[in-house]
Structure 1
Amino acid sequence: MSQGTTFGVMVLAGLMVPAVAGAQSSGNGAGNGAAVQMPAVTVTGRGETALSPVTGYVANQQATGTKTDTPLIETPQSISVIPADQIRDQNAQTLNQVVRYTAGVTAETRGAVATRYDQLKVRGFDADIYLNGLKLQSLYYTTSQIDPYLLERAEVLKGPTSVLYGQSPAGGLINQVSKRPTATALNEVGIEYGTDNHWRGTADFSGPIDKDGKFLYRLTAVGLSEDGQIRMTENQRIAVAPSVTWRPDAETSLTLLGFYQHDPKGNSYGGIPAQGTVLPNPLGRIPVDFYDGDPNFEKFDRRQASLGYAFDKRLSDVWTVRLNGRWLNAKVAYDSLYANGLSSDNRSLFRGIATSREEMNAYAFDNQIEGRFSTGPVRHTLLAGIDHQRLDGHYTAGFGAAPSIDVFNPVYGIAVTRPPTSRTEIDGRQTGVYLQDQLRLGGFILTVAGRRDWAKTTSTTSGGGSTQSDQAWTGRAGLTYVFENGLAPYVSYAESFTPSSGVNFSGAPFKPEKGTQYEVGVKYQPPGLNSLFTAALFDLTRSNLLTRDPAHPGFSVQSGEARSRGVELEAKVGVTKDLELIGTYTFLDTTYTKDNDGLEGKRLAAVPRHQASAWAMYHLPEATPLAGLGVGAGVRFTGGTVNTANSFKVPSFTLVDATVSYDLGALSPKLRGAEVTVNSKNLFDKEYVASCYYGEWCAYGYRRTVTAGLRYRW
C-alpha cells in the first residue's frame, strides 16, 4: 500500500503514536488549516483592547469566529475567550493551563509530560493551534509552541472551521493573540520561584516612540528553568517578542511582529503502562516520577523564529482592507527512549527509540476586504478573502528497539545503539478563497459563508516520492436573534475537511476526511451586568475515516465514522470590578459509529463524558482594612475515561487550585506598582492518571506545584 503522507498527518504519527512511524487511527486526525490574521489590537487598559473590549474576564467581541469585529452574542457558533487577566490570575504557563477552565476543552490528556507540545481536544476531537489567526504549521516532531506570557488572550472556536480557515480537524481551533504595542506607557518586570526548582523571569515594555504617537513599540520576554515532575528531566526556555506599530493616520495601521523562542530542554515525553497505574500490578504501583527514558540519550532542543505583519487600511466608510502574513522557521533535535509495553513479569518495560533532526520554513498569508453597507432594510458585513500557506521542510528520522528497563528498580546510563535514519523532504501548499456575509434585519443576524480550497503535498525520500492533491468545498450557515434583554438564541451548521494520505487497494487516492456539525444554543448578556452566559447543544461527525479493508488485508478503506454529541454550559461574570466568577460544565458522548477494526460502538480514548470547573477571584476593595489583598480559588473535575480498546477505565479526578496576591502599594505609596503573588495548582497534591491516551500508554497528571512571585509595574 502506498504511504504518501501529508505534513498534517505526520504530526499525528510523530506526536501521538511515536512507536509506529506513520501509524494511523480513525480516532485521531490532524491537518493544516489555512491562514488568517486577527485585526490589529491595541491594549487600552486592564484587560481591555481597542477592537475586542474585555472587562476583567468577560469578553464582548471576537474576531476568530467570523474574521470580523463581531459581538460574541451575534456569532452563531460556540467561542470561549480567555483574556490576559485570567491567564495572569491563574498563572497559566502552558496553553493547556490557559484553557483548563473552558467548556468543551479536554486539556492535558498527556498529563505532566504535556509541556513541550500543546496537546488537547475540543469536543472530543483534535484542534488546530493558531497564532494571530495564522496556522502554526507542523512537521513530525517540529510543532511550534508559544509561551503564554507573550499572549494578550486566547480564543477557542469549537467545531468545524474550514469555511474561514481551510483544512482543519473537526474539533475546532485555538487562536492565540499576541501582545501588541500600546498607546500609553506600560512597563513590567517580574521574578518567580517555586517547587521543582522553578525559576521564571518576565519583562514587558510598551508605549509610544514619538511624541505624536504614530509609532508604538512593545518588547515582551520570558525566561524559564525548572526540573520536570519526571525524575532527571528539565524544562528550559527563553523567549522574546518585539513588535512595532505605525499609524500614520486614523485609517491606517501596520504592525510588525517578531518572535524568537529557544527551548533547550523539554522535560520528558514518555509514557507509563496501565499495569501498576490504572490496573493492578502484583509488584506494586509505579512511582509517579518514573522516567522511561535515559538522561544520557534524551534530547529535545527546539528553536523558533518568526516575522509577521498585520496591515489594516480603511478605504472609505464602507470598505476596509486587511493584509496579513508570517514567516516561521523552526528546528528540532529529538532523541527519545519511550515505553512500549510491559513484560509478563510485570516489571520489565519494553522500550523503543525515536530520533529525528528537523527543520521547516512555513509561510502563511491572508488577504481580506470587508464591506459594511445596506440593501434596503438589510445591513451587511461582507467579507471576501484569499489565503495561502506553504511549508518547506525536511526531517531525518529513525526508529528502533531499546533495552528494557525495570519500572521498580530502573538503571540509567546504559548504552543505546542509534537506529538507521532516512531523510524525507516535504513540500506542502494550500490556497483558499472564501466569501462570507452577515445580514442583519431587526434582531435577526443571518451568517452564511462558502469556501473553495486546493491543497497539495509532495513527500520525497531516497526511495522515491509521492504527491497528494485535494480540493474541497466547505460552508457554514447560522441564524441568531438578539433580543433587547441580551438573550440571543442561535442555530448553525458548519463543515470541515482534512486531507487523508495514501491510496486504497485499487490505487485511488483517499478522499479528505469530512466534519459536519449541527449546533443550537443561546447566549445571554444581561444589560448592566458584566457577564456572558452560554449554552450549546451540538452533534459533530467525522466521516471518511480510514479503517481496515476487510477484503484486502494490509489496505484501508474510508468507511470509518466517529461522532461527538454533547452539551456545553459556560458562565463568566464580573459581579463587581473586584469579583470575577467562572463556571463551566461539559457533557460529551463520543462514539465510533462505523469501524472495521473492532472500535464500532466504543468510546473515544481519553475523552471524559463529564467535565466541570469553577473559579472565583476577589480583590478586596480599597476602603477595607485588607485593601490590596486578592484571593482566588478554583476546582476542576474530569470524569472517567477509557483506553482505545475500552478494555478498562481511567478513574475520574478532582483538583483544586488557589492563588493569593497582595498589592504592596497598599502599605506605602513608595511601593506602588509592586505586587507579590503565591499560586498553587493541585493544592491538595492529588495523585492521578490523566488518561490512557493511545492503546495502553498512560500518563500521570501534575502533582502539586507552588510558586511565589514578585512583580513591579510602572
Structure 2
Amino acid sequence: MMTGLIMPTMANAQSANASSSNTPVQLPAVTVSGQGETALTPVTGYVANQQATGTKTDTPLIETPQSISVIPSDQIRDQNAQTLNQVVRYTAGVTAETRGAVATRYDQLKIRGFDAVTYLNGLKLQSLYYAAPQIDPFLLERVEVLKGPSSVLYGQSPAGGLINQVSKRPTATAQNEVGIEYGTNNHVRGTADFSGPIDAEGKFLYRFSAVGLSEDGQMKMTENERIAIAPSFTWRPDANTSLTLLGFYQHDPKGNSYGGIPPQGTVLYNPLGKIPVDFYDGDPNFETFDRRQTSLGYAFDKRLSDVWSVRLNGRWLHAKVAYDSVYANGLARDNRTLFRGVATSREAMNSYTFDNQLEGRFSTGPVQHTLLAGFDYQRLDGHYAAGFGAAPSLDVFAPTYGMAITRPATNRTDVDGNQAGVYLQDQLRLGGFVLTLAGRRDWAETTSTTARGSTRQYDQAFTGRAGLTYVFENGIAPYVSYAEAFVPQTGTDFSGKPFEPEKGTQYEVGVKYQPAGLNSLFTAALFDLTRSNLKTADPIHPGFSVQTGEVRSRGIELEARVGVTKQLDLIGAYTYLDVEYTKDNTGLQGKQPPAVPRHQASGWAMYRMAEGMSLEGLSVGGGLRFTGSTLNTANTFKVPSVTLVDAAVSYDLGALSDKLKGAEVSLNAKNLLDKEYVASCYYGDWCAYGYERTVTAGLRYRW
C-alpha cells in the first residue's frame, strides 16, 4: 500500500468574484465511495471499499481491473491470526501454510499456484538467502493480496502476485489497548497499542505498538520467541501536507525449526508405523535461528493544488541472521533410518527502497483522468557465509538427540544489487467505463563476489498492463485485463550468454458486485497465467541450462465478503486451479507442481449479540477450511485433502458492569477437531505436518 493517498478533490465552484461577494453559491454534488473510506483508513468490519496496492492510487476495489482481496484488522483480530499465513487462510487464490507447522519463521505461501512475494507499505521486503524479513501481524492495520503479475508498478516481481502489509499508523483520536493471552504449547503473548494526538490542534500524532511472544513449537524440543515494537509519528502542519515516520524493530531469538519429514510413514505406508506428528528431524543442541530486523521509513504527502499531489516514500531495513540447522534428507530402505544434512549461515543485509510519485486528477472534455507518474529505486547490499554438509542419521521411531555434529566450512558471498524503474499509469473514466493503462521500464543489476571472483548480472525489461471496467448503476462491474511480470535470473547458458529474465503474462476476466444498501463485495475472476523463459536442462550440453521451460496456471476464484448487519459478518471463498508444466526437459512436462491443490474452499461467520439481547456482549465465530489433494514433485503420489474447523468466542465484560467497560475476554481454537494431516510434500521427499489443535485464551483492555 502506497502511503498518504489523497482522495479526489472537488474543483472550486466559486470564482474570485463570487468569493468576495455575499451571494450564495451552490456547490456541485459529490459522491464519495466507501462512505468516506480511503486506502489508509482503518476498515470497520470485514468489507473494504478502497485499495491502493493494485493501482498505487486511492481507487475503489470495484473499479480496479484485477483481483484484489483486502483482509482488515477486525478479521485479523477475530481470528487471532499470528502469522501472515494465518491472516490469508480465508482468501481466494491463496494457498497458505504449504509448510504446515514447520516454517513459521518464513512467510512461505502461494498465489495462483506460484510463490508470492511480500511488501510492507507498498515497498518490497527484500531478502538475502536466509535473511528474509517477517512482520508480526499485530503491527498491521490490514493486508492486501494482489493476484497476478504486478511488475508494471512494482518492478521485478513474481507472476503469481504479491502481499502488501499495511502498518498501523497514528490516529487523530486517542485509542489505547493492552492484552495478554495464554494457550496450548506453553503459549504466552502480550500486546500493547497506544495512539493519539500529542497536541491540542492534532498536528502531531503518535502510535506505539508492541508484541512479545514465547511458545513451544509443535515439533518437540523447538521454541518460538519474539519481541517487536513499531513506533510511528505523524506531522500534519496543514490540511495539504503530511509526514509520517515509521519505525520497526523485531528480534526473533528462536524460530521453531526448518526441516521436514519423509513421505513414508506420513503420506505413504510404512510397515513400521506412522511417524509422530511432533517428530523433530533436527537437533536442539545445534539448532540456531536468531534474526534481528530494524527499519526506518517515511511517507511524505503534499497536495500541490486541486489537481496535483506528490508522494515520497522510502525505507531503510537492516536484517541480521545466525542460522544453524539439521534437516531430513531422505529415508533409508529400512524405513526408519533418516538421512540428514546440515546447513549453517551467518549473514547481514541492508536494503534501501524508495518510491516517488506524482499524481494528477483532471479532465479532458468528458474524460476524467487519474494520472500517475513514478520513479522507484531499490538497493540491497549484504553478505552471507553459508555452508552445507552431512549430519548423523536418526531413527525416526526411536530418535536420539545430542549427537556430535560438525559445522561445515563456509564460503562468503557479497551481494550488491540495484533496481531502478520509471512508470506511467492513466485511469480514464467516461460514464461507467474505467480504462486503466500502464507501462514501465526497469533496469536491474546484481553483482555477487566470492573468493573466486565476481559475477555481474544486468537486465532490463518493459512491462505493461491494460484493463477495462464498466461500472453499472446497480453495482455490477465486469472487467477484462492483461498484465505482465518479470524476474531476473542468474547464470549463463553453454555459450556464456546471460539468462534473460523470467516473464509472466496474464489474461483475466471477471466481475465485481457491490449491491446498494448492503455492505458487501462479491468477486469472480477467470484467469490464464503463464510463466515463460524458465531454466530447464540443456538436452545437448549436460550440466547446462536453456530457457525453454514454461508453466501455466488457469483457474477460477470466487470470493464474497458481506456485512449482513452490524452484528453479522460473513466470508466465503472458492478457488479452482489447473497448474501444469507445459514445457520442460527434465521430465516435468505435463505434470503438476507440488503443494498446489486444484480445489480450495473456505467460509467464516462472526456474529455479535446486539444491545438489549439477553447475551449482549457475546460474540461467536466459526469457520471451515478445505484444501484439496496435492501431488509431490514427481507426481507419483497424492497428499490427501483436508477440512479444518476454526472457532472463536469473545465477551465484552462491559455488558456486565460499567466498571468493566473496555475489558474483553476471548477464546480461539484453530483446527478445533484436532485433525492430523500432512500440509504438503512440497519438494522431493520433504513433507510437512499441518498444525495440530491450538487454543488460546486472552484478556484485552481498551480505553
Query: Per the shorter chain, which TM-score range?
Result: over 0.9
2:273 is aligned to 284
Given that residues 39 and 51 in structure 2 are in contact (C-alpha distance below 8 angstroms), is that contact kept between their aligned partners in structure 1? no
Cα distance in 2 between the residues matched to 1:292 and 1:443: 58
Deviations 1:42-92 (A, max 9, x none): 9xx999767446330000000000000000000000000000000000000
1:690 is aligned to 679
How far does residue 316 in structure 1 lie from its aligned partner after superposition?
0.2
- Please say if 1:38 is aligned against 2:27: no
How far does residue 623 in structure 1 lie from its aligned partner after superposition?
1.2
Cα distance in 2 between the residues matched to 1:615 and 1:503: 49
1:178 is aligned to 167
1:557 to 510, 524, 546: 546
- Please say if 1:79 is aligned against 2:71: no
Cα distance in 2 between the residues matched to 1:384 and 1:276: 56
Cα distance in 1 between the residues matched to 2:116 and 2:593: 15
Cα RMSD for the two superposed structures: 1.3
1:524 is aligned to 513
Cα distance in 2 between the residues matched to 1:299 and 1:662: 40
- Please say if 1:507 is aligned against 2:496: yes
1:425 is aligned to 414
Given that residues 262 and 328 in structure 2 are in contact (C-alpha distance below 8 angstroms), is that contact kept between their aligned partners in structure 1? yes
Percent identity for Structure 1 against Structure 2: 82
1:401 is aligned to 390
Cα distance in 2 between the residues matched to 1:506 and 1:485: 60
Given that residues 40 and 255 in structure 1 are in contact (C-alpha distance below 8 angstroms), is that contact kept between their aligned partners in structure 2? no
How far does residue 38 in structure 1 lie from its aligned partner after superposition?
3.0
Cα distance in 1 between the residues matched to 2:40 and 2:88: 22
Amino acid at match of 1:289: D
Cα distance in 1 between the residues matched to 2:154 and 2:41: 20
- Please say if 1:352 is aligned against 2:341: yes
Amino acid at match of 1:281: N
Given that residues 38 and 64 in structure 1 are in contact (C-alpha distance below 8 angstroms), is that contact kept between their aligned partners in structure 2? no
Cα distance in 2 between the residues matched to 1:455 and 1:692: 34
Amino acid at match of 1:135: K
- Please say if 1:154 is aligned against 2:143: yes
How far does residue 389 in structure 1 lie from its aligned partner after superposition?
0.4
2:486 to 466, 485, 497: 497
Tell me, what secondary structure is at the counterpart of 1:582?
strand
Change (3 A) 1:637 1:50: closer
Amino acid at match of 2:241: T
Cα distance in 2 between the residues matched to 1:50 and 1:561: 36
How far does residue 41 in structure 1 lie from its aligned partner after superposition?
9.8
Give matches, 1:361-372, under 5 Å: 361-372=350-361
Deviations 1:210-269 (A, max 9, x none): 111000000000000000000000000000000000000000000000000000000011
1:310 is aligned to 299
Cα distance in 2 between the residues matched to 1:49 and 1:161: 22
How far does residue 523 in structure 1 lie from its aligned partner after superposition?
0.1
Deviations 1:136-169 (A, max 9, x none): 0000000000000000000000000000000011
Tell me, what secondary structure is at the counterpart of 1:58?
coil
1:547 to 528, 536, 548: 536
Cα distance in 1 between the residues matched to 2:2 and 2:368: 24
Cα distance in 1 between the residues matched to 2:562 and 2:154: 31
Tell me, what secondary structure is at the counterpart of 1:316?
coil
- Please say if 1:464 is aligned against 2:449: no
- Please say if 1:374 is aligned against 2:363: yes
2:11 is aligned to none
Tell me, what secondary structure is at the counterpart of 1:149?
helix
Cα distance in 2 between the residues matched to 1:567 and 1:418: 48
Given that residues 329 and 341 in structure 2 are in contact (C-alpha distance below 8 angstroms), is that contact kept between their aligned partners in structure 1? yes
1:213 is aligned to 202
Deviations 1:556-588 (A, max 9, x none): 000000000000000000000110000000000
Give matches, 1:246-645, under 5 Å: 246-645=235-634
Amino acid at match of 1:651: P
Cα distance in 1 between the residues matched to 2:635 and 2:68: 31
Deviations 1:367-418 (A, max 9, x none): 0000000000000000000000000000011000001000000000000011
Change (3 A) 1:546 1:265: same
How far does residue 494 in structure 1 lie from its aligned partner after superposition?
0.1
Amino acid at match of 1:704: R
Cα distance in 2 between the residues matched to 1:484 and 1:383: 27
How far does residue 127 in structure 1 lie from its aligned partner after superposition?
1.2
Cα distance in 2 between the residues matched to 1:186 and 1:433: 39
Cα distance in 1 between the residues matched to 2:495 and 2:335: 44
2:127 to 124, 135, 138: 138
Larger radius of gyration: 2
Q: Which runs of 5+ in 1 are unaligned?
A: 1-35
How far does residue 39 in structure 1 lie from its aligned partner after superposition?
2.6
Tell me, what secondary structure is at the counterpart of 2:152?
helix
Deviations 1:505-544 (A, max 9, x none): 0000000000000000000000110000000000000000
2:657 is aligned to 668
Cα distance in 2 between the residues matched to 1:40 and 1:76: 19
Amino acid at match of 2:3: M
Cα distance in 2 between the residues matched to 1:50 and 1:230: 40
1:702 is aligned to 691
1:65 to 54, 57, 72: 54
Given that residues 52 and 59 in structure 1 are in contact (C-alpha distance below 8 angstroms), is that contact kept between their aligned partners in structure 2? no
Deviations 1:168-210 (A, max 9, x none): 1101000000000000001000000000000000000000001
Cα distance in 1 between the residues matched to 2:50 and 2:323: 41
Q: Which runs of 5+ in 2 are unaligned?
A: 8-33
Cα distance in 1 between the residues matched to 2:115 and 2:394: 32
Change (3 A) 1:522 1:102: same
1:653 is aligned to 642
Cα distance in 2 between the residues matched to 1:259 and 1:40: 22
TM-score by length of structure 1 reads 0.94
Cα distance in 2 between the residues matched to 1:75 and 1:86: 22
Given that residues 41 and 180 in structure 1 are in contact (C-alpha distance below 8 angstroms), is that contact kept between their aligned partners in structure 2? no
- Please say if 1:129 is aligned against 2:94: no
Cα distance in 2 between the residues matched to 1:295 and 1:114: 16
Tell me, what secondary structure is at the counterpart of 1:670?
helix
Given that residues 587 and 610 in structure 1 are in contact (C-alpha distance below 8 angstroms), is that contact kept between their aligned partners in structure 2? yes
How far does residue 465 in structure 1 lie from its aligned partner after superposition?
1.3
2:21 is aligned to none
Amino acid at match of 1:627: E
Given that residues 5 and 57 in structure 2 are in contact (C-alpha distance below 8 angstroms), is that contact kept between their aligned partners in structure 1? no
- Please say if 1:113 is aligned against 2:119: no
Structure 1: 4+ residue segments shifted above 3 A: 45-53
Tell me, what secondary structure is at the counterpart of 1:163?
helix
Amino acid at match of 1:585: Y
1:245 is aligned to 234
Cα distance in 1 between the residues matched to 2:280 and 2:493: 40
Given that residues 444 and 481 in structure 1 are in contact (C-alpha distance below 8 angstroms), is that contact kept between their aligned partners in structure 2? yes
Given that residues 496 and 514 in structure 1 are in contact (C-alpha distance below 8 angstroms), is that contact kept between their aligned partners in structure 2? yes
How far does residue 696 in structure 1 lie from its aligned partner after superposition?
1.8
Tell me, what secondary structure is at the counterpart of 2:236?
strand
